[in-house]
């Protein structure tokens, strides 16, 4: 059994997972992209992520720019919200991420419109952004969606592209119903995105992706 100091456990974990990765995949990604892929593997212990993470339209630099530009970040679950590194995101960049899925307004909106709470939360997220932009002398407010559970959130984002175009999307819902189809919509949109292709993903993966980028910025 390895005797490792607590502060060295993560470093050793990354050394081990790197040694077990496909050498061709290590060469496939850029250095910054590889850090994201490795953190997804580290979070899940699932090496399939070395094959299914798609970086679309200069994804890493686009997300960094959003973070540096006082973006509004919305997750589709409180689990993803809890997993984001607030020490960096809020402490360094003064951004407070949001999850509207359990808010009273979201629940009432979903009931009124006979839709899912994830769909309703996208609509209400855009309303929040409109208010912030209006109070900020019309300055463009970058919008980031981190979706790890609800494909209906991605579907709603796509439906509203005629009116709203988010600046970045993490498309990582997990499951079997409309998951692959919803991710395909994001691929076709050509919006800067990090997409976990196929059925895999999850709230923990969403948070891990954001954290992997945040750690590159400190």
The answer to whether 15 touches 42, Cβ cutoff 8 Å, is: no
In the structure, what pLDDT confidence band is assigned to residue 140 with cuts at 50, 70 and 90?
A: confident
Kindly state whether residue 63 falls inside one of the protein's structural domains.
Answer: yes
Catalytic-role residue among 42, 117, 156, 183: 42
pLDDT score, position 3: 73
Kindly state whether residue 100 falls inside one of the protein's structural domains.
Answer: yes
Question: Nearest 5°: CA angle at 37, between 34 and 40?
Answer: 150
pLDDT score, position 133: 81
Residue 90 has pLDDT above 80, yes or no: yes
Kindly state whether residue 1 falls inside one of the protein's structural domains.
Answer: no
Neighbours of 204 (CB within 10 A): 19
CB-based contacts of 111: which residues, under 8 Å, 6+ apart? Answer: none
Kindly state whether residue 85 falls inside one of the protein's structural domains.
Answer: yes
Range of the domain at 44: 6-216
Reported pTM:
0.95
The answer to whether 47 touches 104, Cβ cutoff 8 Å, is: no
Domain count, the chain: 1
Among 166, 164, 158, residue whose Cα is nearest residue 193: 166
Q: 42 an active-site residue?
A: yes
Residue 136 has pLDDT above 60, yes or no: no
Q: What are phi and psi of 201, to 5 degrees?
A: 155, -145
Q: What is the CATH number of the domain that holds 88?
A: 3.40.50.10230
Percent of the chain with pLDDT over 70: 96
Kindly state whether residue 93 falls inside one of the protein's structural domains.
Answer: yes
């Amino acid at each position: 059994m390895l005797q490792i100091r607590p502060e060295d456990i993560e470093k050793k974990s990354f050394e081990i997972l790197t040694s077990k990765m496909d050498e061709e995949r290590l060469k496939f990604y850029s250095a910054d992209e590889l850090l994201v892929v490795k953190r997804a593997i580290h979070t899940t212990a699932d090496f399939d992520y070395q094959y299914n993470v798609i970086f679309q339209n200069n994804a890493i630099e686009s997300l960094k720019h959003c973070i540096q530009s006082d973006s509004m970040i919305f997750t589709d679950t409180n689990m993803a919200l809890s997993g984001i590194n607030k020490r960096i995101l809020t402490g360094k960049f003064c951004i407070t991420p949001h999850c509207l899925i359990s808010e009273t307004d979201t629940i009432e909106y979903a009931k009124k419109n006979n839709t899912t709470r994830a769909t309703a939360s996208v609509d209400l997220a855009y309303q929040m952004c409109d208010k912030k932009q209006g109070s900020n002398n019309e300055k463009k407010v970058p919008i980031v969606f981190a979706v790890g559970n609800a494909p209906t959130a991605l579907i709603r984002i796509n439906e509203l592209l005629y009116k709203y175009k988010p600046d970045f999307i993490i498309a990582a819902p997990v499951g079997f119903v409309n998951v692959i189809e919803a991710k395909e919509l994001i691929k076709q949109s050509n919006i800067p995105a990090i997409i976990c292709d196929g059925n895999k993903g999850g709230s923990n993966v969403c948070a891990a992706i954001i954290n992997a980028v945040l750690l590159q910025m400190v």
